[in-house]
Structure 1
Amino acid sequence: MALLIRGGTVVDANQTYRADVLCENGVIVAIGEGLDAPSGAEVVDAGGQYVMPGGIDPHTHMELPFMGTVASEDFFTGTAAGLAGGTTSIIDFVIPNPKQPLMEAFNDWRGWSEKAAADYGFHVAVTWWDESVYRDMGTLVHEHGVSSFKHFMAYKNAIMADDEILVNSFSRALELGALPTVHAENGELVFRLQRKLIAKGMTGPEFHPLSRPPEVEGEAANRAIRIAQVLGVPVYVVHVSAKDALDAIARARSEGQRVFGEVLAGHLVIDDSVYRDKDWDRAAAHVMSPPFRPKHHQDALWAGLAAGHLQTTATDHCCFCASQKAMGRDDFTKIPNGTGGVEDRMSVIWHHGVNTGRLTPNEFVKVTSTNAAQIFNLYPRKGAVAVGSDADLVVWDPQATRTISVKTHHQNVDANIFEGMTVRGVAAHTVSQGKLVWTDGDLRAERGAGRYLKRPPNPAYFEATRLLNQSKEPVAVDRPRASVATAA
């Protein structure tokens, strides 16, 4: 069935113009003024509204087993909630347990994700190292279209990647043309600070940010960037929350290093006062890592986004209900880390970015969709309003308002970190694969309609990196013998 979006203003990353958009068989087939609707086509009146690429959230954790429980949001409910807010694609994370084969974990996540209502891809985390990890990284890239690998520099005694793992995995990623990404926090320092605070009886949520100060994020970001610099590989730093980490990214980029930075909608607008809420449940609902920061970090993050030092916005959507958060009632280190936001990201960034003059509408499209599509090699299939691109679109009403609340959101969690925030600028209609899946408050998400997105390596980034590093000596990847790996 065809869909015609009529009378809107197309806004993409580079230009703004009046045009109709015709979609057929899941793709955009025509863009222009005065297009005729084919027989039987559904017509959306977009007068006074913007037609933009659907949002891409490059950092979500649906159905994640973590800290002794499982995230409350599954792949259906999470992607459906995203559609209600204008997000039409996500890139989630496969996180193997220590010593778990990467391919085994990947197959688990692929099974869970079959219920997704919107298109999705995966990053895969490297949480340990041996010959099988080396091989599985190659299989994931060549056979399954996974072209980015995650490294947690935090969570000691669990999934933390030490420097040896970072060097080996970054080197293998360079061989494969895959992009390393990092959660930048010094896990050793966090572990030490947590033990020190707990020993003093400081057990409440208000002490969570004290155990993960901005300096531990800045140190880890700088270390990962310097390792990538030595090896000659690009690197992507997820959920930058502190000026300390942003400064490391800006310095590296000013020196010509290929470094990408991501910022969460929450870190742009929420400060650390939430942890001092006298209601334990409300404070615990905001426990995530890195934590929310003092307000001056928000100004720095907005400046970094406007200046291009941070290229993407995300949510780190990882939901735990109050009963799950209560696991850490007597010890904040046991509170499952995670918050929501996949439904609210687009509106929050429009309201606090475009409506304040921090971002233009075109820049909004860049940081909510196009840049992620380009960095993670989904462009121009995603992130563009162009003939031949997927018909993943959002018809955006810049004047409509809504008040964000757990009472009305579609996310499967009993708290909302943006509770009570009134935003101007909302998704009036969302189109996924050429079908209306959200229209004037009616959510039509279909269980299992989402498609797995293969993302081959991005040749542009790695050819540029190769040329920059022609004169450098290669760094060998540690490939232990199978017998040694078995003995370990």
Structure 2
Amino acid sequence: MTTLIRGGTVVNADRAFRADVLCVGDKIAAVGENLEAPAGAAVVDAGGQYVMPGGIDTHTHMQLPFMGTVTADDFFTGTAAGLAGGTTTIMDFVIPDPKQSLLQAFHTWRGWAEKSAGDYTFHVAVTWWDESVHEEMGVLVREHGVNSFKHFMAYKNAIMADDETLVKSFRRALELGAIPTVHAENGELVYQLQQELLAKGIRGAEAHPLSRPPEVEAEAANRAIAIANVLGTPVYIVHVSCAESLEAITRARAKGQRVYGEALAGHLVIDDSVYR
């Protein structure tokens, strides 16, 4: 199918400008003023509208089984909602159980994702370590196109990656040309604070920020950045939620280190008062 989108305001990363967009099949064939519509092409009048590339959501969790819960959206409902808002691609997370094969978990998630309404790809979490994980990381990169590996520095007694796992996995990612990502929270501190709150009978939503003060995230962010710097690998810190972590990222980047921070919309518009 050939479609000409005429007269809209095209929004790219660098500028916005009036132009026509010609799509042939699933490819953008031309962008310019006063493009001629090929024979049989559908013409869409986009006058007064913005025309922009589909969004890529780099952090989703569709039908994720997690510590006794499952996220509300499955791969169809979540991607269909994304398409309605202009998000055409998601990057979801394969999260193996401790001691589970990374490849086995990857194929499970691929099966769940077959019903997706949009495009999708995966990060894969490294939740434990032995030589089989080292080998399967290579298979995932070479044969399945995976290029990022997630590490949870939180969730003690579940999927938390200790420093040995971080170092070995970061080093392996560097060998493979993949990027390590981290959920930056000091898992031991979170666990100890949770136990103190439970002992005091504080069990509601208000306990969440009390068990995770900004220093908990900042310590882990600084540690991940330091490990990556020693090993010479880039690192991507997911859902940065406090100024202290942002400062650590900014310092590292100012020194030339390849550190990236991910912002989520919620962290830009709300604070921990919503838990009270």
Q: Which has the higher contact order (CA 8 A, sep 6+)?
A: 1
Partner SS, residue 263 of structure 2: strand
Bigger shift: 7-16 or 155-164? 7-16
CA distance in 1, matches of 2:272, 2:42: 47
Q: What code does the residue aligned with 2:12 have? A: D
- How many angstroms does 1:211 deviate by? 0.2
**SS of equivalent to 2:253:** helix
The residue that corresponds to 1:485 in the other structure is none
Equivalence for 1:103: 103
Letter in 2 for 1:190: V
SS of the aligned residue for 2:191 comes to helix
1:2-401 to structure 2, matched below 5 A, reads 2-276=2-276
1:11 CA displacement:
1.5
Q: Deviations over 1:13-57 (max 9, x none)?
A: 123222100101100011111122233333222112221111110
The CA distance in 2 between the partners of 1:239 and 1:213, in whole Å, is 15
Task: Give me the whole-angstrom Cα distance separating, in 1, the residues matched to 2:223 and 2:240.
Answer: 14
How many angstroms apart in 2 are the aligned matches of 1:47 and 1:207?
50
Q: Output one character per residue of 1:382-417: Cα deviation in whole Å (capped at 9) or x when no partner.
A: xxxxxxxxxxxxxxxxxxxxxxxxxxxxxxxxxxxx
In structure 1, distance between residues paired with 2:91 and 2:77 = 15
Give per-residue Cα distances to partners, 1:37-87, cap 9 Å, x unaligned. 233333222112221111110000001011212212111110000011111
Q: Say what the alpha-carbon RMSD is for the aligned residues.
A: 0.9
- Corresponding letter in the other structure for 1:197: L
- Indicate the percent of aligned positions where both proteins have the same amino acid: 75
Gaps spanning 5+ residues in structure 2: where? none
* 1:165-197 Cα deviation digits (max 9, x unpaired): 000000000110100000000000000000000
Counting matched residue pairs gives 276
d(CA) in 1 for partners of 2:225 and 2:118?
Answer: 33
Distance of 1:90 and 1:102 partners within structure 2: 20
Distance 2:210 2:76 in 1: 35
- Which amino acid in the other structure matches residue 154 of structure 1? A
What SS does the aligned partner of 1:256 have?
A: coil
The code of the aligned residue for 2:5 comes to I
Match of 1:293 in 2: none
Instruction: Give the TM-score normalised by structure 1.
Output: 0.56
CA distance in 2, matches of 1:79, 1:42: 26
User: Secondary structure of 2:17's partner?
Assistant: strand
Counterpart of 1:4, as a letter, is L
CA distance in 1 between partners of 2:77 and 2:25 (Å): 25
Structure 1 unaligned spans of 5+: 277-488
Structure 2 CA distance for aligned equivalents of residues 67 and 44 of structure 1: 47
